[in-house]
Structure 1
């Protein structure tokens, strides 16, 4: 096993010292103080255990972002606004609404060219990740968010395929007297957003309704976007032992411009500029994005239902959902590109119907000297794509839908039974879980003039989880956990072979082994410290084979190794001051030589260290608040050989201020936010393995926004 890198050794020593200090403080805390601190600092979560559980007593790395962190002084457009405060996560806003956020958890998902993979996404218990493992964080409705729970490490494996981490959004329920709220914000780069919502529970039925529109001209050339979202949630309790929740949401983005990545030379010349297409002799200053009018249109809507019924201490829960997603995307090609006969062209057009069911039973019993809680469940998902591909030119005109080059139906199904149990006796908590994941991919090719790509793939894997927690004192918990992980290729990773010869039936799933030890400590009544050390070994890691013009193909590499530390510290002081520190150190390398990838090479897209720090102040009597945020990432390699220019490390400082007033039945709020206060020029995210060396997606310079809202309670 390769040793920890020297900076990580220092970080581990610091963490050990912090844990020792926590233990000493905890030893001096009274039981009453510790119990009060747990209620205040350790929120109740359901991620990981599937039933209400104090995060302090869960043997896993889990963080909760409350409503204030998600909404206060934020545009509520991208989940990256709040998720930056979570250790172990790297959430990059590409400044490209055609490709969504780039989210990775302990390095899982960092290679995704668009969307989210390697991390499971849920909204109100309903998957925002398709059965193949591809998810879309843009479908999260942040305006109505109550909290976000983020789980990392071995415990994630209980969620099956692509669970390198789990992110769950929970929206608020309708409560109390009816109210309506309107908000508006504006800022740099022609950005603005309007939002109108209503909520209440006048009788037995609670409701939440929300509609918003966001527009930006874009921080980069050719990156304008308009996004419409709608959300509705109805909750009711048919009787004293049951609860029914109905959720509907939709997202519409039409002709969202895609600025593409740029080369290092272009970034140094102008971070906002696009990459010039040298083959465009008619207009030598026109970029690839402009010449091909690269863009994407999305229509996404879904409906979900959750029914819960209690039988004494036991709980039965049924979740069912269905939806439709339509996407049309115009990609670009490089100079001299000639599509082979089997190539699918530069326009992707698909119509997807998806749905699924999750049914589980949670039973509570006494076993020996302790209590036993057992969850037994079955998870089924299905998606079916009616997919076409077209040339993105007609004659000499580019960026238009040309000849048909692909016509097929792609169906993915998954069926996963799972079992999880927790036994608690005295100061010990033992948790075990088992999930059997099965995924089937079927391709029915109707465009066979270029060869028949019909076929099927079957993947299956059993993933066990085992964890032990020891309550050393009322204010100090120690734990250890282990699991096996499973990550299949997504549909988008199967669509292309490196040679451009069609569907890649040769890709294998990646298998991983996760280990973690950690401590959770309460330092007095106002401070909590969480420290986790982890290791992940992965075989048959999926890596980028070739990437060009928006099309990326993948291959299996050898084994990889991830070793790291996560540290989270939350504290409060007198006079309304509070602070948060989130630190991650991650040593992520290839563990053996495969082709041009040498053993010891860093995994691309994964920073060695990330830091988030915040100092906030809030004066409740006056309604005034202010905060300063610091964000830092170390350099990131952009491809497997580590020979191309890495995206340099960076640090940025953000400021925000807010005010709140209550006038009769009105609640008024205002905020001002400045991001990248020092106007640093840096790479915000990278496109891993781009064959044209356009790896870099620049972040905005100094930018601002201001917003206001008004709520009226009837």
Structure 2
């Protein structure tokens, strides 16, 4: 950690250790991990539950990074670039992603928000209606299949009781605003939640304007006393400019600036997605069956800054990406509960099937001397990815002991049907198969202290986006291997007095065939398998409630992620053992302190974030993104007037107006690694809720 940041880190830690929180839920229920409702305190895994109060803590509820900043082990970076989504990583997995989310399994209301190849989009999470977000790291996540770092699962609320309507409006710096309207309740025995929102921003940097429209309908039926059916439909539409990364000199001269290529090519991205799905659960006494199915369609058009000269030399050329994706899937699981050998046995057997089919085209991003427009066709193919997994889990508890185990068999297949043959046929297929086991044990030292240990094997197959340009001459790669990892973890969960809970986890992860960035330029990235890597770390979470309406949250992560053996890039550069993995900070600290005055409804909070420096490429020779420390303030008033509840709030972020790099583009060949974060900025909002 930068020594200049150490005093602030110590001060924040001290503040959080002696203050406390009013809205803290010390023992929330979680289902991620065991797939059954269980106290998070009793799971032999590092799992955090972000409640509704934290998700909506005076935030616009646009980016999942708002809610995940307080979770240890998770790095949630807002790129200030809606064309590329957030940069989410779990214990360092996913930090390499040039766009979207890799290395983490995303799920919303039981329906995957990750495609069968592992590529995910956190932007589609509906945070307005989120009831909680469960974040699972470590070995237990291996029973969720193709990923390595963890699982992030969002649950939205269900409608019941009398109708409630709600409206929210917020506005802030950089011409940012968001409006949201919702209704929920129950009619004729059917619960309903309806939500629609619009978000607009000019963005902090040049060429970063974005507009997003999002809607969701969730209906809950109870066809029988023992059955429950949820039907969910959603739409998502976004138009966003792409500011790309910036060089170090350009960032230092003007953090809001962009590379000239972004302006010349008018880099931008449009996304339209429609999805529908259902989940059904039926209980048979102690046992239950859970079924789900979903279908969706996603269309994306992206204008990149690929120069003419590069397009002419690369087989998969063209600076405009245009694809239509049809996707869907189904899952089934049976959960049984039995008395066995004086203890309680819970078993889960399940299977998941997912498929996605892309009608993908590529065009030149110029016509004559005019850049940033759709030109001649240079690519036309049909890409299909399918996954089919089977898994079994078991938990046996007796007395103070609890044992967990799981086994998953994963099959992921890719097929490319090349329909643009003037430059040769690049079609073909590749398959990956892997069995991943996990074991864990938990012991209750006292009613207030649990200790646990767990181990697992995990794997992460390359995504379509990573295969596309990673072959010879920028062709599709049929030789990339999946990364395979061994996870070890031990931890302690303890109640400290009646009003505090501490979660501590120590872990080590050894990976072979790590997937790393080989080169990245103009929005196009190629990947390769490196040698072995090792991640070692510590995660600490502390939630507390104190008298006088005070509450606090502390989350600290230490992560030492390095290459364990040397490798050579395709360009001939040697990356020696001991170099740090790029995009991963060694230290992350989050802390907040909130005070509430119940009689008046007034509350105020202060937040602190400290992050160590991040390397930007594998050799660690380029300028690293420096560490930083920022503080945020928020105040609000929430009052009820009969059936009407009104809340007003204001937030001031980066109070001391620090200039810092908020995220990085790993391995950018043009040296445009740096994505600037905003200086001092503000947000204010009002919420009205009427219960009939």
TM category (shorter chain) comes to: over 0.9
Q: Give secondary structure in 2 for the equivalent of 1:157.
A: helix
1:45 to 22, 25, 30: 30
1:207 paired with 2:192, answer: yes
1:198 paired with 2:183, answer: yes
**Residue-by-residue CA offset, 1:39-95 (whole Å, 9 max, x unaligned):** 961111000000001000000000011001001201000000010000000000000
1:519 paired with 2:492, answer: yes
Shift of 1:597: 1.0
Shift of 1:339: 2.3
Is the contact between residue 229 and residue 249 of structure 1 (CA under 8 Å) also seen in structure 2? yes
In the alignment, the residues of structure 2 paired with residue 141 and residue 407 of structure 1 have an alpha-carbon distance, to the nearest angstrom, of 33
Provide the alpha-carbon RMSD of the alignment.
1.7
1:573 paired with 2:558, answer: no
**Residue-by-residue CA offset, 1:235-278 (whole Å, 9 max, x unaligned):** 12111100000111111013x10000000000100000112xxx
Task: Give the corresponding residue for 2:128.
Answer: 143
Task: Give the corresponding residue for 1:400.
Answer: 373
Task: Give the corresponding residue for 1:282.
Answer: none
Is the contact between residue 2 and residue 612 of structure 2 (CA under 8 Å) also seen in structure 1? no
1:184 paired with 2:157, answer: no
Shift of 1:343: 3.2
Q: Give secondary structure in 2 for the equivalent of 1:134.
A: coil
Shift of 1:336: 5.3
The 1:694/1:499 distance shift into structure 2, 3 A limit, reads: farther
Task: Give the corresponding residue for 1:483.
Answer: 456
Q: Give secondary structure in 2 for the equivalent of 1:116.
A: coil
Matches within 5 A, 1:146-165: 146-165=131-150
Is the contact between residue 311 and residue 319 of structure 2 (CA under 8 Å) also seen in structure 1? no
Q: Give secondary structure in 1 for the equivalent of 2:195.
A: strand
Shift of 1:505: 1.1
Task: Give the corresponding residue for 1:651.
Answer: 629
Shift of 1:163: 4.0
Task: Give the corresponding residue for 2:566.
Answer: 593
1:112 to 91, 94, 97: 97
Task: Give the corresponding residue for 1:666.
Answer: 644
Shift of 1:544: 0.5
Task: Give the corresponding residue for 2:607.
Answer: 629
1:339 to 312, 325, 343: 312
Q: Give secondary structure in 1 for the equivalent of 2:224.
A: coil
Is the contact between residue 139 and residue 488 of structure 2 (CA under 8 Å) also seen in structure 1? yes
Task: Give the corresponding residue for 2:248.
Answer: 264
Shift of 1:498: 6.2
Shift of 1:621: 2.3
In the alignment, the residues of structure 2 paired with residue 646 and residue 72 of structure 1 have an alpha-carbon distance, to the nearest angstrom, of 32
Shift of 1:451: 1.2
Is the contact between residue 311 and residue 317 of structure 2 (CA under 8 Å) also seen in structure 1? no
Shift of 1:162: 1.0
1:553 paired with 2:531, answer: no
Task: Give the corresponding residue for 1:305.
Answer: 278
**Residue-by-residue CA offset, 1:274-310 (whole Å, 9 max, x unaligned):** 12xxxxxxxxxxx211110000000011111001000
Is the contact between residue 498 and residue 546 of structure 1 (CA under 8 Å) also seen in structure 2? no
In the alignment, the residues of structure 2 paired with residue 203 and residue 429 of structure 1 have an alpha-carbon distance, to the nearest angstrom, of 43
**Residue-by-residue CA offset, 1:323-381 (whole Å, 9 max, x unaligned):** 01100000003585452161321000000000001100000001111010000000100
171-180 or 492-501: which moved more? 492-501
In the alignment, the residues of structure 1 paired with residue 452 and residue 591 of structure 2 have an alpha-carbon distance, to the nearest angstrom, of 26
Task: Give the corresponding residue for 1:389.
Answer: 362
In the alignment, the residues of structure 1 paired with residue 390 and residue 317 of structure 2 have an alpha-carbon distance, to the nearest angstrom, of 36
Task: Give the corresponding residue for 2:687.
Answer: 709
Task: Give the corresponding residue for 1:33.
Answer: none
1:691 to 669, 677, 684: 669
Task: Give the corresponding residue for 2:160.
Answer: 175
Task: Give the corresponding residue for 1:131.
Answer: 116
Is the contact between residue 418 and residue 436 of structure 1 (CA under 8 Å) also seen in structure 2? yes
Task: Give the corresponding residue for 2:571.
Answer: none
1:447 paired with 2:432, answer: no
330-339 or 465-474: which moved more? 330-339
Task: Give the corresponding residue for 1:316.
Answer: 289
Is the contact between residue 150 and residue 168 of structure 1 (CA under 8 Å) also seen in structure 2? yes
Task: Give the corresponding residue for 2:264.
Answer: 291
The 1:630/1:470 distance shift into structure 2, 3 A limit, reads: same
Is the contact between residue 443 and residue 452 of structure 2 (CA under 8 Å) also seen in structure 1? yes
Is the contact between residue 507 and residue 556 of structure 1 (CA under 8 Å) also seen in structure 2? yes
Is the contact between residue 311 and residue 318 of structure 2 (CA under 8 Å) also seen in structure 1? no
Task: Give the corresponding residue for 1:375.
Answer: 348
Is the contact between residue 124 and residue 236 of structure 2 (CA under 8 Å) also seen in structure 1? yes
1:81 paired with 2:66, answer: yes
Is the contact between residue 305 and residue 319 of structure 2 (CA under 8 Å) also seen in structure 1? yes
In the alignment, the residues of structure 2 paired with residue 338 and residue 441 of structure 1 have an alpha-carbon distance, to the nearest angstrom, of 25
Is the contact between residue 488 and residue 508 of structure 2 (CA under 8 Å) also seen in structure 1? yes
Is the contact between residue 341 and residue 450 of structure 1 (CA under 8 Å) also seen in structure 2? no
Q: Give secondary structure in 1 for the equivalent of 2:407.
A: strand
In the alignment, the residues of structure 2 paired with residue 472 and residue 40 of structure 1 have an alpha-carbon distance, to the nearest angstrom, of 22
Task: Give the corresponding residue for 2:581.
Answer: 603
**Residue-by-residue CA offset, 1:470-492 (whole Å, 9 max, x unaligned):** 00100000000000001000000
In the alignment, the residues of structure 2 paired with residue 112 and residue 654 of structure 1 have an alpha-carbon distance, to the nearest angstrom, of 28
519-528 or 202-211: which moved more? 202-211
In the alignment, the residues of structure 1 paired with residue 449 and residue 519 of structure 2 have an alpha-carbon distance, to the nearest angstrom, of 48
Task: Give the corresponding residue for 2:85.
Answer: 100
Is the contact between residue 154 and residue 516 of structure 1 (CA under 8 Å) also seen in structure 2? yes
658-667 or 633-642: which moved more? 658-667
In the alignment, the residues of structure 2 paired with residue 220 and residue 500 of structure 1 have an alpha-carbon distance, to the nearest angstrom, of 34
Is the contact between residue 498 and residue 545 of structure 1 (CA under 8 Å) also seen in structure 2? no
Is the contact between residue 489 and residue 507 of structure 2 (CA under 8 Å) also seen in structure 1? yes
Is the contact between residue 83 and residue 241 of structure 2 (CA under 8 Å) also seen in structure 1? yes
Task: Give the corresponding residue for 1:70.
Answer: 55
Shift of 1:500: 3.8
Is the contact between residue 344 and residue 398 of structure 2 (CA under 8 Å) also seen in structure 1? yes
Task: Give the corresponding residue for 1:279.
Answer: none
Is the contact between residue 336 and residue 348 of structure 2 (CA under 8 Å) also seen in structure 1? yes
Structure 1 length normalisation: TM-score? 0.92
**Residue-by-residue CA offset, 1:213-248 (whole Å, 9 max, x unaligned):** 000011000000000000110012111100000111
The 1:474/1:220 distance shift into structure 2, 3 A limit, reads: same
In the alignment, the residues of structure 2 paired with residue 412 and residue 589 of structure 1 have an alpha-carbon distance, to the nearest angstrom, of 31
1:423 paired with 2:396, answer: yes
Shift of 1:202: 3.7
Q: Give secondary structure in 1 for the equivalent of 2:142.
A: helix
**Residue-by-residue CA offset, 1:492-545 (whole Å, 9 max, x unaligned):** 000002654311111110000000000000011100001000000000000001
1:362 paired with 2:340, answer: no
1:412 paired with 2:385, answer: yes
Q: Give secondary structure in 2 for the equivalent of 1:235.
A: strand
**Residue-by-residue CA offset, 1:68-125 (whole Å, 9 max, x unaligned):** 1001201000000010000000000000000000000000000000000100000011
**Residue-by-residue CA offset, 1:541-570 (whole Å, 9 max, x unaligned):** 000011000000000000000000000000
